[in-house]
Amino acid sequence: MGMKSGFLLQLLFLILLSGLSYLDTIKLGYCSGSTRVGCIEIERKALLKFKEGLTDPSRRLYTWVGEDCCQWKGVSCSNSTGHVVQLKLDNPFPDSFDTPLGGEINPSLLDLKYLNYLDLSNNNFGGIQIPDFIGSLGELRYLNLCSASFDGTIPPSLGNLSSLRYLDLNSNFVESIENHLHWLQSLSSLEYLHLGGVDLHKAAAYWLQTINMLPSLSELHLPQCQLSQLPLSLPSFVNLTSLLVLDLSYNGFNSTIPHWLFNLTILTSLDLQSNNLYGELPDEFAKLTFLQSLDLSQNSYIGGKLSKSMGYLCNLKTLRLSINEITGEIAEFINALSHCTNSSLETLHLGYNKLTGYLPDSLGHLSNLRYLQLWQNEFRGSIPNSIGNLTSLEELYLSDNQMSGPITESLGQLASLLVLDLSENSWEGAVITEAHLVNLSSLKEVSINKQSPNISMVFNISSDWIPPFKLTVIDIRSCQLGPRFPAWLKNQNELKTLVLNNARISDTFPDWFWKLNLLLDRLDVAYNNLSGKLPNSLPFTDLSIADVSSNRFEGPLPIWSSNVAALYLRDNFFSGPIPHEIEKMPHLTDLDISWNSLSGSIPLSIGNLKALNTLVISNNRLSGRIPEFWNNLPDLYIVDLSNNKLSGTIPKSLGSLSNLKFLTLSGNDLSGKLPSTLRNCTIIESLDLGDNRLSGNLPTWIGESMQSLLILRVQNNSFSGSIPPQICSLFTLHILDLSQNKLSGLIPSCFGNLTGFKTEFTAEDAVRYEGHLKVVTKGRILEYNSTLYLVNSVDLSQNDLSGVIPKELTSLSKLGTLNLSMNHLTGKIPERIENLERLETLDLSKNKLSGPIPPSMASLTFLNHLNLSYNNLSGKIPTSNQFQTFNDPSIYEGNLGLCGLPLATNCTDNNETSHFPEYEDRDTDDGDKFEKLWLYLSVVLGFFTGFWGVFGTLIIKKSWRDAYFNFLLGMKDKLSQRSHQILHFLHRNVFGA
């Protein structure tokens, strides 16, 4: 018994001794007074050799001089032996480009035989491979190479570090080669492992089995490792019973949440965000009672309800479930959570789901809540009054829901609130007063905006009220703040973002606003009724946005800070020329000064705005030629110069815009041929050259080079020749307008290849359409903006086209408008016209079409505008419920062979088709011969009798002849006199005035 006790005491002593020895190796300081042991010479030389291989731009190793290496910065030695035990050379300023170490890592470190701590993190070793010799530093317990710019493969020799407890290779460009993740199995003492960003895709099939061999592991971080496979079960028991932190985010797993996770009962943090997990939230989460942080966000496919069992996780501090498919109400979950003795929840992110119902009153019982994000759901009703109890709340996001009703005044009790976002809800009729804001002393950001122009909320705040907060962001849109400019902004001198868009302000900018000396990153007061002149200089931060569109500002165009990146001054009353000083805004990426009264020519200085992406100067009074400065603007993708008075030819340098997607030059006085250089604009999506005086043939290169075209409009020009068949290669085309030109020849039958007219675009495709376009449809000119992507139109009207209508046109099943009027088309209307199932407008008028109207046309259920007038159509007009809407006879006017309603011409009883005379039945010819003969004889006899009865008498009887000619001469004199009187009257009373 005594021997056993002695043995146990000795064993306990050894354990304590080893523990003390370990603590000794990880201390940072050391050596005090005369007991300090000096640096070992061989280790000092090894460190100097190591230093020689490094680059040190900021001289971080300037202390590495002298004999005592234990005093060098980043070097730590053992107090008892003097051996170097630590190298802590991590970069203290990882965001700085000047401070990282680099170069080579010399194998002289092998002489540091007692080194147990090596930290080279956040440096820049320029893509070298992790040295293989590090696996021979057998005493290492801590190795941190995080974000040190290593490349290549992980040396399997790291598996020799059997004493290693901490390994961090995060954020390097390294990978584990096939079958070599097994080096981890030897690290049985490993407690912390971080391989974030390491390419482990070759180990995807067995990574979990390997990790399961590490029984001491307490933290495992494998984010963005391309693992792809998340096993639903383990072949043996779970060995990771010490695991506290598990991070498997950003791997793209395609599975349900595996149930072996719920055997990790002491987990405090689980991160599975940004994978492809699916299925319902398991109730087994309730087993993880120690869980403090759970992140399942951005999986997109996790569904089901947020169950009551999740609310039993009373230690939970952070719950992130945003961007999924979670449905139902949250009342049960919140109620359960609120019954915890002291709920720890600080962060609750449920945004971008399909949650419904009302926000429960129990929400106010989560007294530690700091960040509440519920945006982009389907919550309805009002904000509960209990919200005022969340005195620790710092961020409240309720935007993009269906909430309504009055805003509770308890909102004004959130003294810690920094951010408030109530945007995109149905707050119609809600009123904000001082009571809603009175105690929000910490408030920095307010967002209450709505894209709809309908006013959603009214601010009823006294003009002399002084807010308790100093805001940095005000984003208020479609709320009534006016009619006066809000005076409570007088003390808001810390503003960075000011948006008062569509706020019904009918006023001028008050003088005190300019005296606030704000340095803004965004100023947006568009869609108000503000007037007056704007100052010619305003300070802005880098890459800021200024939008004063759709107001009544006047005077010359203001030239603001050189830091402005986007300037929107459209739809005002600015006049005069575009200032040459516009080049003082060199960072401009977007310039829109359309719909003003600007005059003069386009200044050459615009060519110095080399960062421009969009240039919109349409609907002004600009004149002169388009300058040749486009070579200097390589990033332009929108150019809109339409509806001005520009003349001359289209400049060749426009063809240098290789990024151009939208070119609009319509409504000017441009002439000449299209420059062939435009064929270089190969990604262009909209080409609008309508309403000019352009001439020549339509170039074949439009169809050969501009394969991305969605819109081609050359209406009302003087293009001649035939339609090039290369147009048929524009498979994405949705609007084709070649009307009002001098095009001749046949309509190419290959138009049936235009697959863009066979597909429907969705709202997601709308981003490809920018600007506006006038389209002739439904019998009138309509201008489309936001809904332009919905238009499918072919207009070839008012040309000299001939031949038949190609039957291939009937394959364009999603075509909405087809206008072939005012040409010389012949033949019949194609029989399969009912295939144009989405046709709304059909105009075939003023051609030479013949034959009957196809009865199948009556099945075009969307057709609401039809014009078949002035052709040679014949037969009975088809009748159906749809065609009863076309009861205007003018639709069929000029077709003598048509009969039936709504025309007055009745069809014959025995044949429902009316016929032209040349198609009369032969049986009736013989019966009518004598009638026709008597008719001809009567006409001849009548003419002979009438003619000679008058003129024969005048020839024979002279007195009658003299009287007749005297009568004619008298009438001539009277008419001549009367005409002189009329001319005299006009000269005195009209032309004389």
Q: DSSP letter string over 56-82? A: -TT-TTTT--SS-GGGSTTEEE-TTT-
Distance between CA atoms of residues 409 and 427, nearest Å: 14
Residue corresponding to tokens 């304590």: 16
More confident call, 181 vs 752: 752
- Looking at residue 905, its pLDDT comes to 87
- Whether 617 has a pLDDT exceeding 50, the answer reads yes
More confident call, 386 vs 912: 386
The amino acid occupying position 55 is T
| Half-sphere exposure at residue 114, Cβ-oriented, CA atoms within 13 angstroms | 20
Distance between CA atoms of residues 276 and 195, nearest Å: 20
- Looking at residue 8, its pLDDT comes to 37
Angle (nearest 5°) at CA 83 between 78 and 88: 75
Q: What is the mean pLDDT of residues 386-396?
A: 96
Question: For residue range 534-562, what is the model confidence (pLDDT) as tens digits?
Answer: 998 888 999 999 999 999 999 999 988 88
The token duo for 739 is: 């009307």
- Whether 788 has a pLDDT exceeding 90, the answer reads no
Average the pLDDT over each of 163-167, 342-346, 569-573, 682-686 and give the range with the smallest value.
342-346
Positive or negative: CA dihedral 907, 910, 911, 917: negative
The token duo for 494 is: 């810390």
Residue corresponding to tokens 């910490």: 442
φ, ψ (nearest 5 deg) of residue 440:
-85, 60
Report the phi/psi class of residue 376: left, alpha or beta, with left for phi > 0 and alpha for psi in -120 to 50. Answer: left
The token duo for 401 is: 């829901």
Question: For residue range 12-31, what is the model confidence (pLDDT) as tens digits?
Answer: 333 333 333 333 333 333 33
pLDDT band for position 613 (cuts 50, 70, 90): very high
Q: How far is CA 614 from its chain centroid?
A: 16
What one-character-per-residue DSSP string does 612-640 give? Answer: -SEEE--SSEEEEEPPS-GGG-TT--EEE
- Whether 763 has a pLDDT exceeding 50, the answer reads yes
The token duo for 486 is: 């809000």
pLDDT band for position 923 (cuts 50, 70, 90): very low
The token duo for 968 is: 């004619």
More confident call, 903 vs 621: 621
Q: What is the chain's Cα-based Rg?
A: 43
- Looking at residue 930, its pLDDT comes to 44
Percent of the chain residues topping a pLDDT of 70: 84
Residue corresponding to tokens 């095009």: 743
**Strand 395-397 with 354-355, pairing:** unpaired
Q: How far is CA 67 from its chain centroid?
A: 63
Residues 6+ apart with CB under 8 A from 211: 184, 193, 217, 220, 240
Cis peptide, bond prior to residue 360, ω within 30 of zero: no
Q: What is the mean pLDDT of the chain?
A: 86
CB 90 within 8 A of CB 119: yes
Number of H helices, E strands in the chain: 8, 62
- Looking at residue 856, its pLDDT comes to 86
Q: Calculate the dihedral angle through the C-alpha atoms of 777, 779, 782, 787, rounding to the nearest 10 degrees.
A: -40
Using CB atoms within 10 Å of the CB of residue 252, give its burial: 0 to 12 exposed, 13 to 18 middle, 19+ buried.
middle
Question: For residue range 624-670, what is the model confidence (pLDDT) as tens digits?
Answer: 999 999 999 999 999 999 999 999 999 999 999 999 999 999 999 99
Architecture of domain 275-395: Alpha-Beta Horseshoe (3.80)
Packing angle of the helix pair 958-986, 929-956 (nearest 10 deg): 90
Q: Which CATH number applies to 685-922: 2.60.40.10, 1.10.10.10, 3.80.10.10, 3.40.50.2000? A: 3.80.10.10
The token duo for 375 is: 């945006």
SS3 content of the chain, % helix, strand, coil (to 5): 25, 25, 50
- Looking at residue 485, its pLDDT comes to 96
- Whether 915 has a pLDDT exceeding 80, the answer reads no
From residue 611, how far is each of 557, 632, 638 by CA, in Å? 20, 9, 13
CB 702 within 8 A of CB 733: no
**Strand 686-688 with 711-713, pairing:** parallel
Using CB atoms within 10 Å of the CB of residue 871, give its burial: 0 to 12 exposed, 13 to 18 middle, 19+ buried.
buried
What one-character-per-residue DSSP string does 329-344 give? Answer: -SHHHHHHHHTSTT--
The token duo for 112 is: 């540091």
Residue corresponding to tokens 């072996």: 260
- Looking at residue 858, its pLDDT comes to 83
- Looking at residue 941, its pLDDT comes to 59
φ, ψ (nearest 5 deg) of residue 102:
-150, -160
Residue corresponding to tokens 């960072």: 587
SS3 278: strand
pTM score: 0.78
Q: What is the mean pLDDT of residues 351-362?
A: 96
Tell me the residue ranges of DSSP E strands in 735-839.
735-737, 742-746, 773-777, 780-784, 793-795, 800-804, 817-819, 824-827
Q: What is the mean pLDDT of residues 42-58?
A: 96
CB 835 within 8 A of CB 811: yes
Distance between CA atoms of residues 687 and 663, nearest Å: 5
What one-character-per-residue DSSP string does 824-841 give? Answer: EEEEPPPGGGGG-TT--E
Common-topology check for domains 275-395 and 685-922: yes
Question: For residue range 811-827, what is the model confidence (pLDDT) as tens digits?
Answer: 999 999 999 999 999 99
- Whether 434 has a pLDDT exceeding 50, the answer reads yes
Residue corresponding to tokens 């230093």: 51
The token duo for 498 is: 């000011």
From residue 786, how far is each of 222, 455, 491, 763, 792 by CA, in Å? 44, 20, 38, 10, 14
pLDDT band for position 238 (cuts 50, 70, 90): confident
More confident call, 6 vs 601: 601
Please list the residues that pair with 498 across neighbouring strands. 474, 523
- Looking at residue 537, its pLDDT comes to 82
- Looking at residue 942, its pLDDT comes to 57
Domain boundaries, given as residue ranges, for the chain: 275-395, 404-508, 685-922
Distance between CA atoms of residues 482 and 459, nearest Å: 8
pLDDT band for position 929 (cuts 50, 70, 90): very low
DSSP secondary-structure letter at 232?
Answer: S
Angle (nearest 5°) at CA 524 between 519 and 526: 150
Using CB atoms within 10 Å of the CB of residue 58, give its burial: 0 to 12 exposed, 13 to 18 middle, 19+ buried.
middle
pLDDT band for position 11 (cuts 50, 70, 90): very low
From residue 702, how far is each of 635, 661, 698, 709, 751 by CA, in Å? 22, 14, 8, 9, 15
Percent of the chain residues topping a pLDDT of 90: 72
Q: What is the mean pLDDT of residues 943-953?
A: 54
Helix (H) or strand (E) holding 663: strand 662-664
Question: For residue range 667-714, what is the model confidence (pLDDT) as tens digits?
Answer: 999 999 999 999 999 999 999 999 999 999 999 999 999 999 999 999
Distance between CA atoms of residues 394 and 930, nearest Å: 106
Helix (H) or strand (E) holding 532: strand 531-532
- Whether 594 has a pLDDT exceeding 90, the answer reads yes
Cβ atoms < 10 Å from Cβ of 134: 21
CB 840 within 8 A of CB 864: yes
- Whether 801 has a pLDDT exceeding 50, the answer reads yes
Helix (H) or strand (E) holding 207: helix 207-211
